[in-house]
Chain A
Amino acid sequence: MYLFGDPATWLPLAFATLMGLSILIYVVLDGFDLGVGVLFPFADKDEKDRMIASIGPFWDANETWLVLAIGILLVAFPTAHGTILTALYLPVAVMLIGLILRGVSFEFRVKAPVHHKTAWDRAFYVGSMMTSLSQGYMLGMYIMGLEMTAFTLAFSALTAVFLTVAYSFIGATWLILKTEGALQRKAVRWSKGGIWGVVLGLGAISIASPLVSQRIFDKWFSVPEFFLLMPLPLMSAALVVLLWMALRRLPTRDDSWAWFPFSATIVLFVLGFFGMAYSFYPFIVPDQLTIYEAASAPESLFIILIGTCFVLPMILGYTALAYTVFRGKATALSYD
């Protein structure tokens, strides 16, 4: 058990990494299928079916990453779990209701009588919006240290909008990859219309985090950290420029580069995530509770870690299998 030194030091770090990884995977994966929901009102009837077909086989597993992330928070950092979730009681409730609405709408829209379909489509849209907005709001509140003032509320309202637009952007880039023809052209337009959400979202977080916390300010704006970290914003800026250039040329005649916007957006999300992780480490409740203070007993963490080492690669493996089986352009969903 003391193979890598004191487990009280490396176990919390290992679990914080696992949790961060789950959140990142969740934001990317459920990000695109939430985004598809956010874009729903802009699509016509047939396009809606095609959009659902592009995410139908995946959404359920995508949401499981949220359960894993919250599970790790619950399991590995129980005190932080209580503090964060009771502070975010209402937005969590809004998110859960949103997830319920959109999750069941996938099924009901095709199984309920045809004249109910419009209503379930609306429920799918409303659910996706509630989920995205509340997640953006929670992100803002978290950056603001979970404190409730007029300013933090205003900031969180902004991040709510930015994240929702950012989700719609990654959703649109997913559709560029998974669709063709008129819908693909539409998806390119949606991407152009949504890219500001990503830019402003990343920008707002980058500006606000160091201003709110002196600690984060020092972590970024001291020498040599400042120069070591420069590649992060520079790479992000370069990616945004590349994305814009690609979007202006898409769709191409032979569908080449259709993969690019989605992949570039994933990298962008990853970069943003690393920036945030760097800012907040080692705190799990910003400037209040570190991962070391909040961690569960090493014995319990160890028993989970052993399982994780075996199971996580398997999960990643069969997730990859599912994405391989349903690769290529989305076709109409059928049980046959």
Chain B
Amino acid sequence: MDTLILSRMQFGANISFHILFPTITIALGWVLLFFRLRLAGTGDQKWADAYRFWVKVFALSFAMGVVSGITMSFQFGTNWPGFMESVGNIAGPLLAYEVMTAFFLEAVFLGIMLFGMSKVPGWLHTLSTFLVAFGTTMSAFWILVLNSWMHTPAGFEMRDGVAFATDWWAIIFNPSMPYRLVHMLLASGLTVAFLLTGLSAFRWLIGDRSNGVQATLKTGVIIGAVLIPLQILAGDFHGLNTLEHQPQKVAAMEGNWDTGPNTPLVLFGIPDEQTRSTDFEISIPNGASLILKHSADGVVPGLNDFIAEDGTVQHPPVAPVFFSFRIMVATGMAMLLLSWTAVVFMARKRRGIEGLPRPLLWAMVPMAVSGWIATLAGWYTTEIGRQPWLVQGVLTTEAAVADVPAPMVASTLIVYLSIYAALLAAYVGVLFYLARKATMGEPAGPTFHVAQEAQVTVAAE
């Protein structure tokens, strides 16, 4: 294998590992703030239990996100020097703002949020929780601005192969940014919703009947049930936006080879780039035309339009995009089914968690990682779907790669992969260990200074 594919694998492995943790911390920060405010407002200790358990998950996830994020910031230089040399004038300021407005904020206030409970007044602790949540969201904002710009670049001009910014407003609010940001934030919300649900269901199943578990399970189910339809809607809008700006990606997602009207929606199949056809196809007539063009005879772009006259392929590799997209959609459907079924059971006779049948609770446990699967599949769809471009229409991936010997990339890749595998196993293991430990009953920590805090909140209002 050559340096290019090895570097892509290395960066892909790194960024896949990385995104698992911000996906949790972005939304979990806000959920923790919610627990914190409910505690301050009601004084009910179940919110303290919920906070105390989930802040541990947050701390662990945050550390995993930080260390894998540092790795990425270096790999821009070690593996992709061409990226910054060519579009550094755009990417640079966006990354700099991410570090300055987000990283320091979250890192500094995380210390106070985690360990400062008894050292600072209640309002400062709540404020720190808010600033950490705000910081993670700011970080998501800046990085999605940059990522979106790589898909739909705007507000720049090229001089001697180097991009120069002409309009920062256009760069930040580039055509795909709002869609991608909303899609990702909702993905984060869903990931946390199903993680809350899954781990709480696990605790319930092994005998934890505490109010804290009931509260988190309910919170998780409700967040999931509310966000999943919004996500499906947001995904649809995002898809239409992609159709407008990156039709070749949509063609690969749909597995559609020839441009034309009445294009069927391929539910399953195996795309073959050699024969340029899809085998074992199961499809709904006119489906793709209906979804993408909202009319049965709408013209949908096909992959064969993206072959240059000299035969070079200018569309992404079809199979990975095609399958990732289906995995994402299928996971989303499973989320919809699970969360709405749960809501129906909980609402029936107002029985709450008690009304959930055991098989449903068991189904929730593996679904704890459904957010991860959908998020990764979604990112693979959009990122592989941008190939062969690194920055659409501006810079190819091949032109950006470092001139580093392949064995060097291969050897570090193996080390990274083994460490990531070990850490992932340790992480999931520790989550369930913490859940089990919480169920068995931890030595109860000192209770929160609720009364004092409630007063502070009232005074602040």
Contacts and interface: CB of A to CB of B under 8 A. Distances in A.
A81 interface: yes
Interface stretch (B84-92, B251-259, B364-372): B84-92
Interface string A313-336: 001001101100110000001111
Interface residues of B, number: 71
Contacts of A312: 100
B341 interface: no
A304 B90 CA distance: 11
B96 A75 contact: yes
A58 B109 CA distance: 10
Interface in B85-120: 85, 88-90, 92-93, 95-97, 99-101, 103-105, 107-112, 114-120
Interface in B400-459: 402-404, 408, 412, 415-416, 419, 423, 426, 429-430, 433-434, 445-446, 448
A66 B89 contact: no
Contact of A89 (B68, B92, B104, B408): B408
A74 B73 contact: yes
A74 B78 CA distance: 11
A67 B165 CA distance: 24
B88 A74 contact: yes
A82 B416 CA distance: 21
Given A67-B103, A79-B85, A103-B63, A304 B115 contact: no
Interface in B152-207: 162, 164-165, 168
B81 to A, nearest CB: 3
A299 interface: yes
Residue among B62, B76, B82 facing the most chain A CB atoms (10 A cut-off): B76
A153 interface: no
Nearest to A327: B119
A268 to B, nearest CB: 26
B78 A100 contact: no
Contacts of B308: none
B165 A60 contact: no
Contact of B109 (A66, A76, A318): A318
Q: How large is the interface on A (under 10, 10 to 19, 20 to 34, 35 or more residues)?
A: 35 or more
A85 B78 contact: yes
Interface string A270-301: 00000000000000000000000000110110
Contact of B445 (A56, A78, A322, A336): A336
B59 interface: yes
Nearest to B71: A96
A319 B84 contact: no
A84 B77 contact: yes
Interface of A: 56-58, 60-61, 63-64, 66-68, 70-76, 78-79, 81-86, 88-90, 92-93, 96-97, 99-101, 103-104, 106-108, 111-113, 296-297, 299-300, 303-304, 307-308, 311-312, 315, 318-319, 321-322, 325-326, 333-336
6 contacts: A83-B81, A99-B71, A296-B88, A296-B89, A308-B96, A315-B108
Given A74-B76, A297-B165, 5 more contacts: A61-B107, A78-B92, A86-B81, A106-B63, A335-B114
